[in-house]
Amino acid sequence: MNLALQLKTLYRKFPVCKSLALAACLVLGTASAHSQSPSAAIHYNPQTHVFRIDGGDVSYVFGVNAKGQLQSIYWGQRVAATDSFPAAQARPPWASFEPSTDTTPQEYIGWGGGFYYVPDLKITFPNGNRDLVLKYVSHTIHGDTLDVVMKDISLAVYVTLEYQIDPATGILRRSATVENKTGQPFTIEQDFAATWNLPANNHYQLRYLTGRWAGEWNLQKEALHPGKVVLGSRTGTTSHHINPWFAIERGNPGDQDTGAVWFGALGWSGNWQIAIEQDQIGQVRITGGFNPFDFGYLLKPGQSLRSPYFYAGFSHHGIGGASRLMHRFELTRILPEGPHPKLRPVLYDSWEATGFNVDVAGQEKLAEEAASIGVERFVMDDGWFGERDTDHAGLGDWWPNPKKFPHGLKPLIDKVHSLGMSFGIWVEPEMVNPDSQLYRKHPDWVLNFPNRPRSEARNQLVLNLARPDVKAYVFHVIDHLLSTNDISFVKWDYNRNWAEPGWPAVPTDQEKEVYVKYIRNLYAILRELRARHPNVEFEDCSGGGGRVDLGIMRYTDEVWPSDNTDPFDRLSIQQGFTYAYTPGVMMDWVTGSPNWVNHRVTSLQYRFLSSMEGSLGIGANLNKWTPQDFATARKMVAQYKTVRATVQQGALYRLISPLHGSEYAVNEYVNQNGKQAVAFAYLHSSQKGWPFPHIYLRGLDPSATYTFRMLDGKAYANTPASASGAYWMHVGVQLYLRGDFQAALLELDRQ
């Protein structure tokens, strides 16, 4: 609808609009059009030049000050609709060394005019000028989105800042699009999506997630001090090492569910950076986007470059509340099937059972065994294609190995279907082994610098997806696989980092665009594959959790968080994961004991309970299981199906953390419909007969009645068969776990 028509309709519906500011009027119309989300609003006050964005329990406020800068005013718990904010006023300089530009918290700032913190945008112009001073030009409000246009004081460099608010969670999505209207090309050297500002305060605690292969998702915590913490990746991908997520607590609340927390995450699967900087007067700026290391994007006249999305939110229910908001946001606004993503089926994966040694008979036998315990999806992992007998060959040749599958994949897929399961397959399409038909034909298709070594990792090289021919090949070869076989799930793997990121086929001044174009093409391939094969689901995997972020999650249905399948290690790995990402996408396998990582021996029930805290998978070699194992597995899989909606899409409360050498761990999940709550409890090793800590549940309706039951069906002395929510939250439950690696599952059902 054009603006005139939109206004006419609005005036008819809301005669009051004729006397209101245009922006407020459009908001009124939008609120009515989206009556299911009435709590979002974006207002602009033309008198004070203040923008106010409300959503969920959050208000976000900034204004245009007299210098034309976009000045941050407030971000935190929602304030009354009647509250108004005075006009933004640039702060005075502290001294000649700290100019007003530095003391004034700004939403987005170019490098120019004397600025000593992290600028959002840095450009080199053809005449050598590197000064860029951006000022407010105009804005538009449409529904839940606000666009603010800024322009340099003399050059026709335009930047459009987009703010989009999620009405339910109050999480904002920000990005910046730089447009070149100067008539000459220029090079962007640093390009961030946004700066988020927090007021001066000396007691901020920063949390972030670090890791390595098979050891991802370690939650770090440190006090912020004046200076800069730079989180980022230069691996070409999101990386196992640091994940693009942060949270900042005010004070040191000591409880998961209390206190003010600001949190955010980048939606980008390539080199990224988030800098958290506390300035000399104690203010905190969080700036994130493309990693500026080795960055260079030649923007020709008429072209534009959009930054990655930077998402951020606020919770006054502590870090626990922050995760619950992220989980809801991801389920409803990020995942491709949102706002109502399907529950994840119980999956079997052949990798740990058969390695590269796959063939029809072996896979069919595993499929029969998997079906017998209630598995819903059978996935054939690596080893089925090209000359893939080890990890030395085959990547790039995505057709069934004729010796292993003489009649193609159909007989196996038919067999899997006849057992009542859907069929999934492993691929790693962005990679090539030098020992492959693809590489022999197209050695120029990989990332490389001419006449320099091509460093292999896991005997493979990275295809340069930024090249149009490589993009087309990868799309077509996977499209063909999916078009010619009845496949409903693709495990999309990515098993190395970049080296020698050269792109010799393009002019030298455009080579560094590979960092942007590779990832954009990856997203485009996944988007197009999903469009052409709407019934196929995708798992995002990168040697475990090497590429988990809100960018790739827009195109994938689930995530493999770690190759580490030790069920005890998994407690902390999975917990770390859930600080940023929903258990609704987290695939967790039950594998063999002793486990390959630590050689730890655990019971099958313990392994199942650990893996039931997300999307349950089984990756054990079923040929080695006893009849008793199958009986246990059948029972556990059936139990999982009764709680999976609660675990995958409910509200998570971390009651006792497994971190810092804790002997205990307890996580509770409350179903969105409020009808079921479950709690998983784990004991590492009893010592000196100490009782298991008392459990106080959370998130229940105090006046509702809940019945209590344990997975093992045993009656618990001193625990009533039913009681009020208030009882379970205040009197709680005493579990009797003793021994090593013990686990239990308790369930409360609302009457």
Site string for ligand GLA, 489-518 (x = CB under 6 A): ----x-x-----------------------
Residue 493 falls in the annotated catalytic set: yes
CB of 560 to ligand GLA, least distance (A): 6
CB count in 10 Å sphere of residue 716: 17
Residue 187 CB partners (closer than 8 Å, separation 6+): 123, 124, 296, 297, 298, 299, 509
Set 493, 549, 566, 588: catalytic member: 493
CB of 234 to ligand GLA, least distance (A): 21
CB of 563 to ligand GLA, least distance (A): 5
| Long-range CB contact pairs, 198-201, < 8 A, 24+ | 198/75, 198/248, 198/262, 198/283, 198/284, 198/285, 198/286, 199/283, 199/284, 200/281, 200/282, 200/283, 201/250, 201/282, 201/284
- Look up tokens 């069906």; give the residue: 713
Set 120, 257, 563, 569: catalytic member: 563
Q: Which of residues 17-46 bind ligand GLA (CB under 6 A)?
A: none
- Binding segment (CB under 6 A) for ligand GLA, from list 371-379, 394-402, 537-545, 683-691: 537-545
Q: Measured from the CB atom, is 102 or 349 closer to ligand GLA?
A: 349
Contact flag: residue 543 with ligand GLA (CB under 6 A)? yes
* Residue at shortest CB range from ligand GLA: 382
Q: Measured from the CB atom, is 40 or 490 closer to ligand GLA?
A: 490
Q: Which of residues 310-369 bind ligand GLA (CB under 6 A)?
A: 351
CB of 619 to ligand GLA, least distance (A): 8
Indicate the SS3 state at residue 11.
helix
In 3D, which of 516, 474, 517 has the Cα closest to residue 494?
474
Angle (nearest 5°) at CA 526 between 558 and 120: 90
Q: What is the DSSP string of 274-336?
A: EEEEE-TTS-EEEEEEE--TT--EEE-TT-EEEPPEEEEEEESBHHHHHHHHHHHHIIIIIST
CA distance 418 to 345: 17
Dihedral angle over CA of 583, 641, 670, 211, nearest 10: -20
Q: Measured from the CB atom, is 418 or 598 closer to ligand GLA?
A: 598
Provide the b/e sequence for 423-457 (b: ≥16 CB within 10 Å).
Answer: bbbbbbbbbbbbbbebbeebeebbbbeeeeeeeee
Q: Measured from the CB atom, is 321 or 544 closer to ligand GLA?
A: 544
Indicate the SS3 state at residue 43.
strand
- Look up tokens 């019945």; give the residue: 707
Q: Measured from the CB atom, is 204 or 426 closer to ligand GLA?
A: 426
Amino acid at 27: V
Site string for ligand GLA, 438-477 (x = CB under 6 A): ----------------------------------------
Q: Which of residues 368-387 bind ligand GLA (CB under 6 A)?
A: 381-382
- Binding segment (CB under 6 A) for ligand GLA, from list 270-278, 438-446, 541-549, 702-710: 541-549
- Binding segment (CB under 6 A) for ligand GLA, from list 337-345, 469-477, 536-544, 680-688: 536-544
Residue 204 CB partners (closer than 8 Å, separation 6+): 198, 223, 224, 248, 249, 250, 278, 284
Q: Measured from the CB atom, is 326 or 481 closer to ligand GLA?
A: 481
- Binding segment (CB under 6 A) for ligand GLA, from list 295-303, 540-548, 662-670, 731-739: 540-548
Q: Measured from the CB atom, is 17 or 552 closer to ligand GLA?
A: 552
CB count in 10 Å sphere of residue 149: 16
CB of 545 to ligand GLA, least distance (A): 9
CA distance 400 to 390: 15
Amino acid at 180: N
**Rg value, the chain, Cα:** 27
Q: Measured from the CB atom, is 394 or 658 closer to ligand GLA?
A: 394
Site string for ligand GLA, 545-584 (x = CB under 6 A): ---------------x--x---------------------
- Binding segment (CB under 6 A) for ligand GLA, from list 54-62, 278-286, 539-547, 728-736: 539-547
Q: Measured from the CB atom, is 34 or 458 closer to ligand GLA?
A: 458
> Would you say 561 and 548 are in contact if contact means Cβ atoms under 8 Å apart?
yes
Residue 557 falls in the annotated catalytic set: no
CB of 389 to ligand GLA, least distance (A): 12
| Residues noted as catalytic | 493, 563
Question: Using CB under 6 A as the criterion, which residues of the chain lie in contact with ligand GLA when the complex forms?
Answer: 351, 381-382, 426, 493, 495, 541, 543-544, 560, 563
